């Protein structure tokens, strides 16, 4: 397997087009390709420095001719989760025509996009890159050949990572916000920059209440951490 990381400027990509005019970034966290319709259905995280900048960029993306479906799932401050559908771009069509495929999440920022694409053979990767040069500007940031034992280790790591992600999803909104405030405020630093009183004041609750929320959040996350460690140890054995 040949895996390429590319910095790509796609002139027909709505994410690239949007970030060229607005100071925000997009990162795909999940995607499904409909080959019959030629559409990529994605769950995307959008991030900007503040809410007004985020809103301006999201409006631009929503109204873009290259977006066939758009749903704002959630939004908080300068962060938003989206569900979008976009037709296959010319560059991605070139990758697919050479038996290539998406190998990792994309990131779009400042008018360019970072791709991770894979090919089964060296020749197919070289052919795709040659064709991409005709109509696109890109830079190969990384090229690596993955062996079977590399792929086996990667699969184990992905499983462990997904275990951690599931642990984060298990958190309630209150538990998540309490953990975030504790980390950002320095509750776990040595010496501490925040204590239970500081956190209780921030959330307008009692010290026992914030302590309980913090403890439950830690327990949920640490249980998943232990599961992930056990998964990695099994893979190594």
Per-residue model confidence as pLDDT tens for the chain (237 residues): 888 999 988 878 999 999 999 999 999 888 887 777 788 888 999 999 999 999 999 999 999 999 999 999 888 888 899 999 999 888 888 998 999 988 877 899 999 899 889 998 999 999 999 999 888 889 999 998 866 554 444 444 555 566 666 666 677 888 888 888 888 888 888 888 888 998 999 899 999 999 998 888 888 888 877 776 776 666 555
Domain boundary residue, one of 146, 162, 180: 146
Contact 81, 71 (CB under 8 A): no
Q: Are residues 132 and 162 in the same domain?
A: no
Report how many domains make up the chain.
2
Contact 91, 136 (CB under 8 A): yes
Helical H runs in the chain?
14-21, 51-62, 90-97, 122-135, 148-170, 173-185, 196-203, 207-236
- Enumerate the β-bridge partners of residue 110: none
Q: Are residues 33 and 59 in the same domain?
A: yes
Query: Mapping DSSP to helix (H, G, I), strand (E, B) and coil, where does residue 221 land?
Result: helix
Provide the residue range defining the domain that includes 18: 2-146
- Tell me if the pTM is above 0.75: no
Domain boundary residue, one of 146, 179, 203: 146
């Amino acid at each position: 397997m040949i895996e390429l990381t590319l910095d790509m400027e796609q002139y027909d990509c709505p994410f690239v087009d949007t970030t060229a005019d607005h100071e925000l970034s997009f990162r795909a966290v999940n995607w499904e390709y409909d080959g019959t319709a030629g559409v990529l259905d994605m769950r995307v995280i959008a991030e900007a420095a503040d809410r007004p900048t985020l809103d301006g960029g999201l409006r631009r993306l929503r109204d873009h001719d290259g977006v066939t479906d758009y749903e704002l799932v959630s939004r908080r401050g300068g962060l938003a989760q989206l569900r979008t559908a976009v037709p296959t771009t010319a560059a991605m069509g070139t990758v697919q025509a050479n038996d290539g495929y998406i190998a990792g999440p994309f990131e779009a920022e400042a008018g360019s996009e970072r791709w991770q694409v894979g090919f089964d053979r060296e020749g197919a990767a070289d052919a795709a890159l040659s064709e991409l040069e005709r109509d696109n500007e890109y830079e190969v940031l990384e090229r690596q050949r993955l062996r079977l034992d590399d792929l086996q280790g990667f699969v184990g790591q992905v499983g462990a990572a997904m275990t951690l992600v599931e642990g984060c999803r298990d958190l309630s909104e209150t538990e998540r916000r309490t953990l975030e405030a504790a980390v950002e405020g320095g509750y776990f630093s040595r010496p501490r920059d925040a204590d239970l009183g500081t956190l209780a004041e921030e959330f307008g609750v009692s010290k026992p209440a914030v302590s309980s929320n913090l403890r439950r959040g830690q327990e949920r996350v640490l249980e998943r951490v232990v599961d992930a460690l056990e998964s990695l140890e099994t893979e190594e054995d």
